[in-house]
Amino acid sequence: MVQEQLIVQNETGIHARPASEFVKKANEYESEIMVVKGEKKANAKSILGLLGLAAAKGDELTIIADGEDEQSALSAIAELINSKFGEH
């Protein structure tokens, strides 16, 4: 199991489009990927779960990956978040 704390950097937070990209990226990996925000926890492969976190700009998320490709999965998710989901 690997984990990393990341800050949501895009202006609009994780709304429908970024959540869709997040789920698409997470589903490329076999590992279980969880996203934690405060007391809330969501499966990164569930768009409704991610939207339920209501993650806004500046919120800290803990990404936890567990499985055979956990490091690759964590790196890819971190890159997606740090790229602001392509928003400028």
Annotated catalytic residue 88: no
Locus of tokens 């590992």: 31
Q: Give the C-alpha separation, 57 to 66, whole Å.
A: 26
Given 15, 43, 47, 75, the catalytic residue? 15
Compute the average pLDDT of residues 81-88. 88
- Looking at residue 53, its pLDDT comes to 97
Q: Does pLDDT of 88 surpass 80?
A: no
- Looking at residue 43, its pLDDT comes to 98
Q: Which domain holds residue 78?
A: 2-86
pLDDT in tens, 9-57: 999 999 999 999 999 999 999 999 999 999 999 999 999 999 999 999 9
Q: How many domains does the chain have?
A: 1
Q: Collect all residues with Cβ–Cβ distance below 8 Å to 25 and sequence separation of at least 6.
A: 76, 77, 80
Q: What is the CATH number of the domain that holds 69?
A: 3.30.1340.10
Q: How many residues does the chain have?
A: 88
